[in-house]
Structure 1
Amino acid sequence: MRQKKTRWLLVCFILLCSLTQAQIPIFEASVKRVLFLGNSITYAAGYVQAIEAYHKAHFPQQKIEFINVGLPSETVSGLSEEGHADGRFPRPDLHERLDRVLLQTQPNIVFASYGMNDGIYLPLDSLRFQKFKDGILWLHTQIEARGSRIIHLTPAPFDEELGKKPGYAQVLDHYSEWLMQQKSWEVIDVHFPMKAYQASQQKTDPNFALAKDGVHPGELGHWIMAQQILRYLGQKNILQFPTIIQALSPIKDPNSFFQLIVKRHNLMKDAWLGSTGHLRPEMKKGLPLMEALALSLEIDKQIEALLAP
């Protein structure tokens, strides 16, 4: 009898700890705008949308604007391989647009995700590596000079078997390790947890891949990224949820709720890219920013309705 009572008290304690952890705010009360910078993985937005949805579901009283200005093909190194995009255009360089982005968005926090394109899919080279480091150092300095908090993400891993670029997985290992060695910086490692997850799955399914093309993570890969970020931000129990939908426990209809977050996010990311400007051709043309903001308010009403008790 005593063992049953002890077991029951332990279960209650674990549940209480879980609930307490879920109530730890992700962001300080002063945070109003959170900006995401990066390449096509950030533009794809899965991990950004998951973070936004989780925050909205668990902390609905804190109104934060999540702004995604990820730009496909972009580097922070300023490098571009010969014949990129079949010769149609060189890789865009963050140096060209960062000032405009920061001026218009005025973020309190910036998440920066670079590295995948910065070695331009060639084996490790000291000059290319230095260009990456120079670019990251420049970015870090620019954000801090404006009084914003910058949090770096290590790049997603590269799958050489699917991506057909021998030696490039080692390049991203190297770039990730360098970022993690910057002890005075805030750095969240998504690279090695994603590699570890894929390796564990491949023990039973040799064909398992987080990124079908070797570069761009699918839904699960983006969720692993979001989990690592949310865990860093204090959500210690986040790893127990296999999907973002299961992590939206306060919501009665989490599927509909998440789809509305995705709809609004996709509307605004193209509007922000259009407003801040860039040199990459072949991008979807977003609505004028003010028009997009007006439409987003209508979507907000639908989201708020799902949040109502």
Structure 2
Amino acid sequence: MKLNRLFARKLIIFSCLWIATGQISIAQTASDSYPLTKAKRILFLGNSITYAGDYVSLFERFYISHYPKPWAEVINVGLPSETVSGLSEPNHADGAFPRPWLFTRLANVLKKTKADVVFACYGMNDGIYLPFDQARFEAFQKGIERLRKMLEEAGIKRIIFLTPPVHDDPKKGVDGYNLVLDRYAQWLLDQRGKRGWEVIDIHFPMRSFLLEKRKSDPSFRLAADGVHPGEEGHWLMARELMSYLDPNFDKSMTLDTYLNSMPSGAKLYELVRKRQAIMKDAWLTYTGHNRPGMAVGLPMEQASKKYEQMERQIEQAISSF
């Protein structure tokens, strides 16, 4: 008994010294965070990759099959072209409109969604697809820090940043604009140890996967246009979220293997995707934005009824697990 008490005291002292030096481990940060079992609404912020939404739907499918009811509502308000930096190319969208800036809508999004957990994925657009520039980098950093401050002030219980996805230049591959995103991603990852932020890395795993596949197939692409990942790219993003939340998650699985790893798994995913497709436009319309060309979503009252109808179908699918 004395030995156990002595060991416990030493462990506490060591832990205090470890924290005092600022070396807060990822596992410690995550385990001390607001658990998703308490969440009421989980919000995803981001650009067109988040708006496309496959990785968000895969996350929700994972969430409702791993966590007990009542489930939180998973809300996607990703907005194509958006940045946290406030930067835009002079002739963005052929001069039709400048890139939207998150902070013109964030306060309203937080007020209307009443989320308590937020995932945020930015960076792809923030370097404006140009070579690295310190001023642009600082604008991205300031935008991320402002975002975190606003989320904290809004009472968000858990804030999780995602590093930007990989960029695959048609000619230079990962040695083009992706070199900028390497630096943006690494800065975010550095905040885990320096400031105890929760950051999930999707950038470097996607980068490694792409390079490995290119060894046997030089023409392999995760994104046909270099920016927007296809189905496999979204799966790579989603599985990093899943393995972060569940350390026992088997990252070697393919998307098909994962979806068919349990009865009605593929059906459940399709139901979630269908509901997300309806709700993301409804939420964007309800919370407001200034980007032209977006679909007008259903009025929130009507969308909420559809949400509840599909919730019953999802409950039936999950009951067969």
Corresponding residue number in structure 2 for 1:20: none
Aligned partners of 1:162 and 1:98: how far apart in 2?
Answer: 36
Distance of 2:59 and 2:267 partners within structure 1: 16
Question: What is the TM-score with the length of structure 1 in the denominator?
Answer: 0.87
- Aligned to 2:93, which of 82, 85, 88? 85
Distance in 2 (CA, whole Å) between partners of 1:104 and 1:96 is 14
Instruction: List structure 1 segments (4+ residues) > 6 angstroms apart after TM superposition.
Output: 163-166
Query: CA offsets per residue over residues 258-299 of structure 1, 9 Å max, x none?
Result: 111101011000000000000000011110111101011111
Provide Cα deviations, 1:92-149, integer angstroms capped at 9, x if missing partner: 0001000000001111110000000001111000111110011001001111122212
Give me the whole-angstrom Cα distance separating, in 1, the residues matched to 2:174 and 2:67: 43
Q: Provide the secondary structure at the position in 1 that maps to 2:226.
A: coil
| Structure 2 residue 272 is the aligned partner of structure 1 residue 261 | yes
By how many angstroms is 1:257 displaced?
1.7
Output the CA distance in 1 between the equivalents of 2:95 and 2:130.
17
Whether the 8 Å contact between 2:242 and 2:249 is mirrored in structure 1 is no
Matching residue within 177, 188, 195 for 2:200: 188
Counterpart mapping for 1:73-222 below 5 A? 73-148=81-156, 149-161=158-170, 167-182=176-191, 183=193, 184-222=196-234
Pick closer, same or farther for the CA change 1:217–1:77 going to 2, 3 Å: same
Cα displacement string for residues 145-181 of structure 1 (whole angstroms, at most 9, x for unaligned residues): 2221211100001112268998411110010011111
Indicate the residue corresponding to 2:6 in structure 1.
Answer: none
Q: Any stretches of 5+ residues in structure 1 without a counterpart?
A: 1-25
Q: Using the alignment, how far apart are the partners of 1:104 and 1:201 within structure 2?
A: 43
TM-score by length of 2: 0.84
Question: Is residue 281 from structure 1 mapped to residue 289 from structure 2 by the alignment?
Answer: no
> Of 15, 33, 37, which aligns to 1:29?
37
Query: Any idea what SS the aligned residue of 2:75 has?
Result: strand
TM-superposed deviation, 1:305 = 1.5
What residue is the counterpart of 2:9 in the other structure? Answer: none
| Aligned 1:288-307 pairs, distance under 5 A | 288-307=299-318
Q: 3-state SS of the aligned residue for 2:118?
A: strand
Report the 3-state secondary structure (helix = DSSP H, G, I; strand = E; otherwise coil) of the residue aligned with 2:45.
Answer: strand
Q: Is the deviation greater in 109-118 or in 162-171?
A: 162-171
Q: Is the contact between residue 245 and residue 254 of structure 1 (CA under 8 Å) also seen in structure 2?
A: no
CA gap of 1:292–1:163, structure 2 versus 1, over 3 A, is farther
Superposition RMSD on alpha carbons, in Å? 1.8
Please list, as runs of the form range in 1=range in 2, the aligned pairs for 1:56-71 lying within 5 A after superposition: 56-71=64-79
**Whole-Å Cα distance in 2 between the matches of residues 293 and 163 of structure 1?**
45
Deviations 1:43-75 (A, max 9, x none): 000110001011112335241100000000000
User: Unpaired runs of 5+ in structure 2?
Assistant: 1-33
